[in-house]
Amino acid sequence: MARNPEVKKACNVRWYERNREKVRLRQREYQRTYRALHPERVRAYVNKYHEANRDKTNAAQRLKRTGCTPEQYAQALIDQNNLCLICKQPFVDNKGLLMPCADHDHATMTFRGLLHQKCNRGLGHFNDDVTLLQAAIDYLNRTKGENE
């Protein structure tokens, strides 16, 4: 005798509710095993997904690394008139596009603004230390006329 599909579905839903954690553990174990056995397939899938969803994956990485939400990023581009906050140059290169870097305070994970990659790395090399940056400025000012 065939079961009523609605009764069968309700029974499956109840079983899943009672065994949810067991199902999740089995799924995780299966995924772990699959990834270990097929790393090239997994890498190909991840690359294909990233290419198809570049904006989404970049936004997720930006949020994770710098605390900058997609809304903050979009608003900063508008507020900064598409210019780097340090060098005041546009976020465009000779190919037509240069991705701005979301600068953030490493101690508080507070988003500060958008910078060119070089400008952002420059701050990073000085550990965001105002004293070191001022010492570099003083050095450049002192030695400015020596090489001319």
Question: Counting runs of H as helices and runs of E as strands, what totals does the chain give?
Answer: 6, 2
pLDDT in tens, 62-84: 999 999 999 999 999 999 999 99
Q: Where are the domains of the chain?
A: 5-46, 67-142
Min mean pLDDT across 35-39, 53-57, 98-102 is at: 98-102
52 or 99: whose pLDDT is higher? Answer: 52
Q: What is the CATH number of domain 67-142?
A: 3.40.1800.10
111: how many CB neighbours lie within 10 A of its CB? Answer: 19
In the prediction, which pLDDT does 95 show? 62
| Contact by Cβ (8 Å): 130, 121 | no
Residues 126-138, mean pLDDT to the nearest whole number = 92
Please tell me whether the overall predicted TM-score, pTM, comes out greater than 0.75 for this model: no
pLDDT in tens, 28-49: 999 999 999 999 999 999 999 9
Residue 55 pLDDT more than 90?
Answer: no
SS3 state of residue 145: coil
* Residue 104, beta-bridge partner list: 111
Residues 55-67, mean pLDDT to the nearest whole number = 91
The C-alpha atoms of residue 65 and residue 102 are separated, in whole angstroms, by 9
In the prediction, which pLDDT does 109 show? 86
